[in-house]
Amino acid sequence: MGSLKEKRAFICDMDGVLYHGSRLLGGSREFVDWLKDQDKQYLFLTNSSSRTPGELSEKLAGMGIEVEPEHFMTSGIATAGFLSTQKPGGSAYVIGDNGIRQALLNSGFHLTDQSPDYVVVGETVSYNYPQLEKAINLVLGGAKLIGTNPDVSGPVEEGIGPACRALIAPIEMAAGRQAYFIGKPNPLIMRQSLKRIGCRRAETVIIGDRMDTDIIAGIESEIETVLVLSGITKEKDIDRFPYRPTYVLNGVGDIAGLA
């Protein structure tokens, strides 16, 4: 465990690691304080594309944790970064919330429903049939289909809600096209995160609560991993997977306790 606290950089998932919904998890505030006190490089990474970094900063501030917007990476930002290298100044029809829309605009994209280069789908509560019909026909007309992340479901206040992959599935089925997904476990989002914090893989660790996204993302990117048992994956679930995390801890507060 001694080598974990000596890591220079920490890429950390949020839901299930720092909080559940609107409830702060024990040890989260101490962990963030430790990152700051130890002068670590850190980035909070979420597979959701719904919120902007500013909105995520406000969410944590409401829980008593002060983190500046530049310390957040979302699948929306990663998607916009990828598309801006593929088609600089391109256009997109977006089914999604403010996070993905703002990220694309900041990357120089034009949002339109008239012959776009891409149809981009992220999480949203305003998903409706006219959007679905429009997206299908735009893809049939030649637009490339992009998903911000491959999550089928995610936690909501009432339990579980549909995430990006569930929302994009009807478009794939009706148009006969497969989407390309940017978020974890795609190593693309990990490489963008490393560039943001200016650190090498060997001096970085990724922390998450899911074996099927966070941990496999780290493994496929050759970054050491920390599974915390405060979210989706429980200790009894680990052996179901053909790979293992580097470390297993009860929560992120355990990392601060190592210092």
Query: Would you state the pLDDT for residue 6?
Result: 87
87-181 maps to CATH 3.40.50.1000: yes
Beta strands in the chain (DSSP E): 9-12, 19-20, 23-24, 41-46, 72-74, 91-95, 110-111, 118-121, 144-147, 153-156, 159-162, 180-181, 204-208, 224-228, 247-249
Whether 33 sits among the annotated catalytic residues: the reply is: no
Catalytic residue among 13, 97, 117, 254: 13
**Chain segment 92-125, per-residue pLDDT in tens:** 999 999 999 999 999 999 999 999 999 999 999 9
**Chain segment 20-59, per-residue pLDDT in tens:** 878 899 999 999 999 999 999 999 999 999 999 999 999 9
User: Which of 156-160, 168-172, 231-235 has the least mean pLDDT?
Assistant: 156-160
2-47+184-256 maps to CATH 3.40.50.1000: yes
Contacts of 95 (CB under 8 A, 6+ apart): 119, 120, 121, 122, 124, 127, 131, 132, 135, 167
Give CA–CA dist 218/236, Å, rounded. 21
Q: What percentage of the chain reaches a pLDDT higher than 90?
A: 88
- pLDDT band per the 50, 70, 90 thresholds, residue 259: very low
Query: So where are the chain's domains?
Result: 2-47+184-256, 87-181
User: Does the pLDDT of residue 258 top 60, yes or no?
Assistant: no
Give CA–CA dist 17/24, Å, rounded. 9
Catalytic residue among 15, 97, 117, 214: 15
User: Does the pLDDT of residue 156 top 70, yes or no?
Assistant: no
Q: What percentage of the chain reaches a pLDDT higher than 70?
A: 97
Query: Would you state the pLDDT for residue 1?
Result: 45
> Hey, which residues does 208 pair with through a beta bridge?
227
Contact assessment for residue 213 and residue 237, using Cβ atoms and an 8 Å cutoff: no
Is 87-181 in the same CATH topology as 2-47+184-256? yes
Give the end-to-end CA distance of the chain in Å, rounded to a whole number.
10
- pLDDT band per the 50, 70, 90 thresholds, residue 184: very high
Whether 15 sits among the annotated catalytic residues: the reply is: yes
Q: What is the mean pLDDT of residues 137-142?
A: 98
User: What is residue 127's three-state secondary structure?
Assistant: coil
Q: Read off the pTM.
A: 0.92
Give CA–CA dist 118/122, Å, rounded. 13
Give CA–CA dist 108/9, Å, rounded. 30
CA 199 to chain centre: 19
**Chain segment 55-87, per-residue pLDDT in tens:** 999 999 999 999 999 999 999 999 999 999 999
